[in-house]
Structure 1
Amino acid sequence: MSPDEERAARMALGMLVEPGSRELGILVRSVGAQEALVRVIGGFGISTGLAGAVQARMRKAGVDGDADVAATLAGRMGEFAERLGARIVTAADEEWPPALDDLVRASRPGNILRRDTDPPMCLWLRGPLRLGETLERSVAVVGARAVTGYGAFVASEFGYGLAECGWTVVSGGALGVDVTAHRGALAGGGATVAVLACGIDKAYPAANAAALEQIGVEGLLLTEWPPGTQPHKTRFLTRNRVIAGATRGTVMVEAGSRSGARSTLGYARLLQRSAMVVPGPINSPMSVGCHIELRQPGTVLVTRVEEIVEEVGSVGELATPIQGAGRPEDTLDPLQARILDAVRPRRATTAEQIAATAGVSGRDARRNLPLLEELGFVVSAPDGYRLSNVPRAAIGEEGER
């Protein structure tokens, strides 16, 4: 079978069978796309459910009984794509992202929600970026639609920061966390990919139409469904496997207990991608899902872009540890700090008394107290030493000078 025939067969299968079909995926891997198309059209060697679904799609498309269904559907899809300013990519094309092939490992036959998780037959794209290259360094940022101010701030900061670091931000184009992360990436001058659960010609949700149009001009819009397809609830869950599979890791910013974002994180775990979660207030309903996921083994807590990059990046891309503000006494060695702790604030005491309180020798106290005085930590008096009245912050500034 030539690459063109393989491509046409995959395009036709993408129109005739709902994305993710495990049965179709197994068939294509065993006999090839062209033979699989012959079998699903003829209804032999496949389940009655798949055969019936294909026949219904063929009748709707008006190709029932067509002598060459693949050529007819592929030609029609090409015309759709040209009219919409889109293009179609299959596994037979160089632009195909190899990471999506890992979806064969995500299926869980006993779980109805995780049974049909196979790689897409074809993808509809709109935007100037090359898909495979764009997804090589990519992170999914997902979360609640009913985002709080806290979640919106985090999603925007993460989107912007990841873009600045040269990472592609992938999300679902939905309200809330998704679109906020997309906008953050665009504002940061980076790449972003919106994975849709409807046709490439549908701006869903309508409230995000302007943002989706901007992504289609500067980034990439991506979907498995042909033009005209409406978004359904189950299609969002199917779409989530692509978001997780296409990226190196998934960050969940905010999520309720039943949030669809949790399914994306679940796919990330199944595919051995990094599963990252942002903690939130323990009394916030929009962080309940996050805290449930944080209790799962292997989940990584992240609060900064640097921590995300450390998790999904190359060896050596480490986040700088968070440290508290420096204090003047941090420059002291352990012995000096111990002696300083024994000096009283208002009443002067002798070096020997300070040594006894600190549990050090009189010799160590007598040697270090003049140095502590020179640094401004203590002042001397006729009857010993007491703490300086100068504020510690000011002491630090004087010590540096």
Structure 2
Amino acid sequence: MSDGGDPDLPARVFLTRVIEPGDEIAGRWVRELGVVEVVRRLRDGGRPLPGVSGRRWEGLRARALRAEPERDLDVARAAGVRFLGPGDVEWPRQLDDLGDARPLGLWVRGRADLRMWALRSVALVGARACTEYGAHMAAGLAAGLAERGWVVVSGGAYGVDGAAHRGALGAGGATIAVLACGVDRPYPRGHTELIARIAEQGLVIGELPPGDHPTPSRFVLRNRVIAALTRGTVVVEAAHRSGSLVTARAAQRLGRHTMGVPGPATSALSAGVHELLRGDAVLVTDAAEVVELVGAMGELAPDRRGPVLPRDLLAPGARRVLAALPGRGAAAAREIALGAQTTEDDAIARLYELRALGYVERHGDGWKLTRQAMISVRRPRSPC
């Protein structure tokens, strides 16, 4: 199943059927004793491994008695699924940052190289019951990232996850779905077609063996893999108790970039994002801003500016004189000079310059704004 030739592969497959994802106690067993020894102790049922109660040990033993790694590998092979262990050449090394919570292995569906794709990837996560705004932003961000050569990673769920995957696929880009169940068993069922399309054009990965079902705790623990796999996590919409905040906080603990897309201050579905933004998360509004944060040096987002108006092209002295003219009626050059904080001679020179440009006109000994200048310079500003 793996080209890396990992001699521990059957033992790791065995443990994915026995040990729950993210179990740090089991991760310590593997680190200290080796995966083969842990499997032997679970199968033999002798002295319990350290750190577990008798009741939990019996539960693990019951699972171990039912585990059939060779059968799991056969089922996976028939479904076009391969298994990767930490010793495999395709293993994403950044997952090792999880320490003892590192996955025991990953089941992978799709042809792409997971390690290479993960090197330039961004997580897009958010609310399942998202608004139209959330879906629009997720799809737009994903498409923009895909067009810039970035891989979009999400959880395959309804709402923001689905919009992110579709946005990347629609742009002809790459996307990875990280599932909280067996990768041969798409969840949610309503996304069966989408997940099949992701497997065809991208990758579907998970920690659980073929046929295994999702549980609430597995969704939460799956999020640490999304956070560790990617260069940064963007939260599009999230309420205060959203699971996507778990992903963002895991990313922060791992030293990854954390970003948030702002929403209306009155929206409960943006309250969790705003909480992140009040902390260490960075506000982003498009793919260019995301790439500026997670990309290489020099991948900068364009400057954000309002429209350039004709008066913006005036020299500073001319702008000051123009601003010193009254909104109605004419004013003498002496009065204009006082308002512009310059000499009368300088003010007169600027006024003739402005007359040539169509901003002012002379009335006897006074000067006044032209009708066009009054529209462009004195237009009332909205209180909003």
Contact 2:327/2:374, CA 8 A, preserved across alignment: no
Of 336-345 and 138-147, deviating more is: 336-345
Counterpart of 1:212 (choices 182, 185, 195) is 195
CA gap 1:257/1:268 in 2 versus in 1, 3 angstroms? same
Q: Is the counterpart of residue 324 in structure 1 residue 306 in structure 2? A: yes
CA distance in 1, matches of 2:58, 2:108: 29
Counterpart of 2:40 (choices 32, 38, 41) is 38
- The residue that corresponds to 2:380 in the other structure is none
Instruction: Tell me the CA shift for residue 391 of structure 1.
Output: 5.4
Counterpart of 1:191 (choices 155, 174, 178) is 174
Q: Secondary structure at the match of 2:60?
A: helix
Instruction: Tell me the CA shift for residue 377 of structure 1.
Output: 1.4
CA distance in 2, matches of 1:206, 1:381: 78
- The residue that corresponds to 1:60 in the other structure is 66
Give the letter aligned to residue 302 of structure 2.
T
* 1:71-112 Cα shifts (integer Å, max 9, x gaps): x62x223211111111111112101000111011xxxxxxxx
Q: Is the counterpart of residue 380 in structure 1 residue 382 in structure 2? A: no
Counterpart of 2:243 (choices 257, 260, 266) is 260
Counterpart of 1:129 (choices 93, 112, 124) is 112
The gaps in structure 2 that reach 5 residues or longer are 378-384
CA distance in 1, matches of 2:180, 2:55: 23
Contact 2:239/2:269, CA 8 A, preserved across alignment: yes
CA distance in 1, matches of 2:116, 2:360: 62
CA distance in 1, matches of 2:57, 2:44: 8
* 1:119-177 Cα shifts (integer Å, max 9, x gaps): 11111111121100011110000000101011011101011111011110000000000
Q: Secondary structure at the match of 1:263?
A: helix
Q: Is the counterpart of residue 347 in structure 1 residue 329 in structure 2? A: yes
Instruction: Tell me the CA shift for residue 280 of structure 1.
Output: 0.9
Instruction: Tell me the CA shift for residue 232 of structure 1.
Output: 0.6
- The residue that corresponds to 1:89 in the other structure is 84
Q: Is the counterpart of residue 102 in structure 1 residue 97 in structure 2? A: yes
Instruction: Tell me the CA shift for residue 372 of structure 1.
Output: 1.1
CA gap 1:360/1:99 in 2 versus in 1, 3 angstroms? same
- The residue that corresponds to 1:5 in the other structure is 7
CA distance in 2, matches of 1:346, 1:11: 83
Contact 2:42/2:64, CA 8 A, preserved across alignment: no
CA distance in 2, matches of 1:268, 1:26: 22
Q: Secondary structure at the match of 2:7?
A: helix
Q: Secondary structure at the match of 1:390?
A: helix
Contact 1:27/1:36, CA 8 A, preserved across alignment: yes
CA gap 1:190/1:49 in 2 versus in 1, 3 angstroms? farther
* 1:213-256 Cα shifts (integer Å, max 9, x gaps): 10011010001001111111110001000000100111000011
Contact 2:76/2:184, CA 8 A, preserved across alignment: no
- The residue that corresponds to 1:21 in the other structure is 23
CA distance in 1, matches of 2:373, 2:337: 24
Of 167-176 and 19-28, deviating more is: 19-28
Counterpart of 1:180 (choices 145, 163, 167) is 163
Q: Secondary structure at the match of 1:5?
A: coil
Instruction: Tell me the CA shift for residue 293 of structure 1.
Output: 1.8
Counterpart of 1:171 (choices 111, 130, 154) is 154
**What are the within-5 Å matches in structure 2 for residues 302-341 of structure 1?**
302-341=284-323
Instruction: Tell me the CA shift for residue 335 of structure 1.
Output: 1.6
Contact 1:328/1:392, CA 8 A, preserved across alignment: no
Give the letter aligned to residue 182 of structure 1.
H
Instruction: Tell me the CA shift for residue 49 of structure 1.
Output: 5.1
CA distance in 2, matches of 1:392, 1:248: 51
* 1:297-317 Cα shifts (integer Å, max 9, x gaps): x21111121111111111111
Contact 2:125/2:234, CA 8 A, preserved across alignment: yes
- The residue that corresponds to 1:65 in the other structure is none
CA distance in 2, matches of 1:313, 1:25: 32
Contact 1:327/1:393, CA 8 A, preserved across alignment: no
Contact 2:143/2:167, CA 8 A, preserved across alignment: yes
CA distance in 2, matches of 1:216, 1:139: 18
TM normalised by structure 2 equals 0.92
**What is the number of equivalent residue pairs in this alignment?**
370
- The residue that corresponds to 1:69 in the other structure is none
The gaps in structure 1 that reach 5 residues or longer are 62-71, 105-116, 396-401
CA distance in 2, matches of 1:358, 1:176: 56
Give the letter aligned to residue 262 of structure 1.
L
Counterpart of 1:389 (choices 356, 371, 381) is 371
